[in-house]
A and B are shown apart, each in its own frame.
Chain A
Amino acid sequence: MNAVHPLLRRQFLERSLLAASGIGIGSAIAPKWLQGATWNAGDKSGRVLVVIQLSGGNDGLNTVIPIDDPEYKKRRPKLAIAKADAISIPQDLALHPSLKGVAGLLEAGRFMLVQGVGYPSPNRSHFESMDIWHSCTTKDKRGRTGWLGRWLDQQQAADKNQENQDSLAMHLGAEVQPFALTALDVQVPSLSSIEQFRFKVDTDPQTANSVAKMESVTGKSVNNDLLDFVASTTESAVTASDRIEKALKQSAAAGEFPDSQLGQKLQVIARLIKAGLQTSVYYVTLDGFDTHAQQPAAHAALLNQWSEALTAFVKYLESSGDLERTLVMTFSEFGRRVAENASDGTDHGAAAPMFFAGAKIDQPIVGKHPSLTDLDDGDLKHHTDFRSVYASVLEQWLKTPAEPTLGEEFASLKLFG
């Protein structure tokens, strides 16, 4: 079941047992390259991908609106956004009124939307559809890894000298770690908040001594995958806790971020990027998009939170000079049904737009808005497979071949310069 090489697994276990036996404030038990109080930033050339997951199924149709299509008002007598309120963008489209920040980014060439994204035989279960987006496969073919997890495994395997001192990826949030990040060999830390991410057990001067002793424990494989997993996670917790504390000291708090949950998470990520943490992928979620009832106020607040946080993030990195190497991708597990329901809401749908923010995007609007009359069981039809979008991110942004990560070949679109 566990594809990790037995030797590697043993090392993991030993190292984390060491760590755990004296889990101090990191430095006392951190691996050698971590020791010392000074910040070692490493170079700032590596590209960064930030993923924002809108959980619950974002209503794409009220996010990017075919505002002049008469079908839109007809299908949504109560929920349609009035043309006077919406923000006009090219191609006879309009953005939800909450997206002022995003509209500004789009005008400045810092934002791109990809329309009509989905996959064949759409699944309307939140969990199954999210798993499809995370794994790139349907349930019957699903392995134990997510798409980013497979990419992380490849990066780790390529880094033979283990030169990277930081976690390759990081998840910020109190929710369960997204399956997309599940790898075989790489442990991705999850941080619920920076304050809570500090061990309180006292540092212990004897630890170095016990570490030396523990090194004689070699060879005792316990042959329990669950224990190996907990042990390697313990190790990554200790390491990440130490590095993040040091990194955040390098880049002061940034007041211009909104106080919202997403705003504060993106603030932390922006500071870690600026400090030069060698982490390639950051992952955050914004939940609440399952708007079956009383949609207008809830959806407006969520889009506003996303737009304000994203705008602050782009501005911060623009001024720190890190936007050139940072790309933000936003997606949701599905869109919502074209017709509204009777509770002032919308039920689960299919195709929806994806969004990118950064300095190296190719064009503001990619693809046509799906037809509001040619539907699949009441839902918008996709014309672009999400895996083709992933392929573009992998090839054009992360500069790695897409096929090993996606499991099969998907033609990429020209998205990033």
Chain B
Amino acid sequence: MKTVAAESIDPKWAWEPWKPSEDSPWNRSAVYHLYRRVGFGISASAAQKAVDTGLEETLHQLFSTATNDEFETTTAAITKSVMAGGNLRQLSVGWLHRMLNTPTPLVEKLTLFWHGHFATGADKVNDIYAMQQQNETLRKHALGSFPSMVHEISKDPAMLIYLDSANNRKAHPNENYARELMELFCMGEGNYSEKDVQELARCFTGWEVRRLQFRFNRFQHDTGTKTLLGTADLESGEEAIDVVLKHSATPKFIIKKLYKFFIADEPNPSDELLEPLVTQFREDQLQIAPVVRRMLSSNLMLSDHCRNRKIRSPIEWMLGWMKSLDVSGNMQTLSEGLTQMGQSLYFPPNVKGWDGGRAWINSSTLVARANALHRLVNDGNTRYDKKSLGEFAKTAQIDKPDRWLNYLLETNLSASVPETQRDALLESVKSYTAEQALKEITCRVATWPQTHLA
């Protein structure tokens, strides 16, 4: 795979804070881009407000970690009622509500990132409480300390059940968690040996889950000394985790994954490009917030190198549409649609999580995307900022199909669309009634290839 050539992007320039200029102004396009990438999109009215309040205040709001009581109370009520129902498939309803309405967009986006990173599948864990607990753990650490998160996840009941590590006896250490901790959670494949896997597994013996609580069973712990990644005389699981966290591969692995999540699916970034971030992350003792904020407010983030370089995940795509149409929608239907599009919250495909990028797109998921939006728009209960679609358009002073098309393109599409493609669509809805045309245009744009990029 090609890498961004070091000579084409100067790493120093890339990660300096972006300053608006004549060529690259602070405008609605920049606002939509930032909100699509850092959060889950933004309504047209909020986007104009962001332009007016300026870059600094907008970043402040995007990066905020200060939630508010009213939002937390509503969300807690939804989550509570879902938990009472006990249906694992409905657990996503509370989280989707959160993503759509959160006062802390980056926290929520990163919680989703960490869910894919420390992927744990509800079908195997089969306990709604354990899954919800894990989600709260990930949110708590989303912008916090990576080491703290890894230590807590390593004792997380849902995780240990998922990786068959609810029992781990010294006679036959289970290698599953030990392997994934190095391969998928911290270092990446190829940076450790099979012997390291076996030694790390010995460190974790005696780590158990009983009645959905972590427990250390000293009778099952192998107390002999172990050598891991060249560090001798290790004894406990905690010491071993620290060795993994201190390994030079760890900051590289995490920064690269964050880059691909936030900046570009492809090409793969060069080591030189990532080096300033890796150094910072290491020097910050793997604190997440500073390096992520630097990445997201950088020259590179706001440059053309970062536009249309991501395939939107089903959640980003669907919530982006909902934001631009200002609809709240039925979260249950939304959740079912997302499953068909290949992103079922709490049900990642395997312990590696969602691959992202091109893997989001295939014939079935494209059909599912188009059909989900079709269902939303043709659902009689759907309200657009509490109005019908016609009234919503009127409020936005849209009186003709072409202006509606422009509105959708501006609020929800990052890639440009050729004139002829626009004209063909407008031509085909000429005989439609006003409201029909609005719906048809919306559904058709949802099938355009450009709509899947951000």
Contact = CB atoms under 8 A, between A and B. Distances in A.
A126 B364 CA distance: 25
Interface stretch (A40-48, A100-108, A112-120, A195-203): A195-203
B266 A237 contact: no
Interface in A176-234: 176-177, 189-193, 196-202, 204, 206-207, 209-211, 213-214, 216-217, 220, 222, 224-227, 229-231, 233-234
Nearest to A128: B189
A343 B355 CA distance: 30
Given A23-B444, A127-B189, A206 B427 contact: yes
A293 B342 contact: no
Contacts of B120: none
B167 A293 contact: yes
Interface stretch (B105-113, B146-154, B173-181): B173-181
Nearest to B424: A210
Interface in B67-86: none
A144 B447 CA distance: 27
A209 B427 CA distance: 9
Query: B interface, how many residues as a size bin?
Result: 35 or more
Contacts, number: 202
Contacts of B351: 126
A268 interface: no
Contact of A347 (B2, B174, B418, B429): B174
A149 to B, nearest CB: 13
A20 interface: yes
B364 A347 contact: no
Contacts of B266: 1, 225-226
A144 B1 CA distance: 7
Given A20-B447, A175-B349, A226 B440 contact: no
B428 A204 contact: yes
Interface in B160-197: 163-164, 166-169, 171-176, 179, 183, 189-190, 194, 197
Interface in A298-355: 339-343, 345, 347-348
Contacts of B421: 17, 21, 214, 217
**Which of B175, B342, B362, B420 has most A Cβ within 10 Å?**
B362
A277 interface: no
Interface stretch (B28-36, B53-61, B237-245, B369-377): B369-377
B453 interface: yes
A229 to B, nearest CB: 6
Contact of B420 (A123, A171, A217, A237): A217
Contact of A224 (B179, B308, B363): B308
A292 B176 contact: yes
A191 B374 CA distance: 19
Interface residues of A, number: 71
A21 B367 contact: no
Interface in A255-300: 287, 292-293
Given A176-B362, A293-B167, 16 more contacts: A23-B444, A55-B350, A128-B189, A174-B342, A196-B367, A197-B367, A201-B447, A206-B430, A210-B424, A224-B308, A224-B453, A227-B453, A237-B362, A293-B174, A343-B172, A377-B194
Interface of A: 1, 13, 16-17, 20-23, 55, 123-128, 139, 144, 171, 174-177, 189-193, 196-202, 204, 206-207, 209-211, 213-214, 216-217, 220, 222, 224-227, 229-231, 233-234, 236-237, 240-241, 287, 292-293, 339-343, 345, 347-348, 377
Interface of B: 1-2, 163-164, 166-169, 171-176, 179, 183, 189-190, 194, 197, 265-267, 308-311, 340, 342, 349-352, 354-355, 358-359, 361-368, 370-371, 374-375, 415, 418, 420-421, 423-425, 427-430, 440, 443-444, 447-450, 452-453
